[in-house]
Amino acid sequence: MSDKPGNDAHLEQGQDKEGRAGFLARLNPLETVVLAGILLIALAGLMLVGKGFYMKAKAEFSQVLLKRSFEAQLQGDTNAKPWPWADFSTEAEITALRIGKTAVVLSGASGEALAFGPARLANTPAPGELGTSVIAAHRDTHFRWLKDVKQGDLLVITRKDGTNLTFRAGTSRIARWDESGINADAPGRNLALATCWPFDATEQGPLRYIVNAELVADAVEAKGSMAEGLPLSPARSF
d(CA 136, CA 5): 64
Q: Give percent helix, percent strand, percent coil of the chain, each to the nearest 5.
A: 35, 25, 40
Q: Which candidate, 132, 131, 106, 129, places its Cα nearest to that of 119?
A: 106
* pLDDT band, very low/low/confident/very high, at 225 (cuts 50, 70, 90): very low
Q: What is the mean pLDDT of residues 219-237?
A: 43
8 Å CB contact between 121 and 136: yes
Q: Give, as one character, the DSSP assignment of residue 96.
A: E
Does pLDDT of 175 surpass 50?
yes
Q: How far apart are CA 178 and CA 55, in angstroms?
A: 27
In a domain, 6, yes or no: no
Q: Which amino acid is it at 168?
A: R
Measured CA to CA, the distance from residue 108 to residue 89 in angstroms comes to 9
pLDDT per position as a tens digit, 65-111: 888 889 998 988 888 888 777 778 889 999 999 999 999 999 876 66
**For the chain, how long is the longest CA-to-CA vector?**
93
Asked if 55 and 61 count as a contact pair (C-beta separation under 8 A), the reply is no
Supply the mean pLDDT for the chain.
77
Judged by DSSP in three states, 77 sits in coil
CB 122 within 8 A of CB 156: no
Domain assignment present for residue 115? The answer is yes
Q: Is residue 118 part of a domain?
A: yes
| 149 part of a folded domain | yes
Count the domains in the chain.
Answer: 1
Q: Which domain holds residue 63?
A: 54-232
What is the per-residue pLDDT for 227? Answer: 35
Q: Is residue 53 scored above 60 in pLDDT?
A: no
Bridge partner residues of 134 (DSSP): 192
> Domain with 95 in it: what CATH number?
2.40.260.10
- Whether the per-residue pLDDT at 206 is higher than 80: the answer is yes
What is the reported pLDDT for 46? 47
% residues pLDDT > 70 (the chain) = 63
179 assigned to some structural domain? yes
Lowest-pLDDT range, 35-44, 146-155, 192-201? Answer: 35-44
Q: What residues does 182 pair with on adjacent strands?
A: 232
pLDDT at 42 over 60: no
- Does the pLDDT at position 22 exceed 50? yes
pLDDT at residue 49 in the model: 43
User: 15 lies in a domain?
Assistant: no
**pLDDT value of residue 55:** 52
Tell me the CA distances in angstroms from 221 to 53, 109, 163, 225, one per residue in order. 43, 26, 11, 11
For position 103, what pLDDT does the model report?
A: 94
Instruction: Tell whether omega for the bond before 198 is within 30 degrees of 0, i.e. cis.
Output: yes
Considering only CA atoms, which of 178, 192, 165, 195 is closest in space to residue 235? 178
Top pLDDT among 226 and 176 is at: 176
Q: Could you give the percent of the chain with pLDDT greater than 90? A: 42
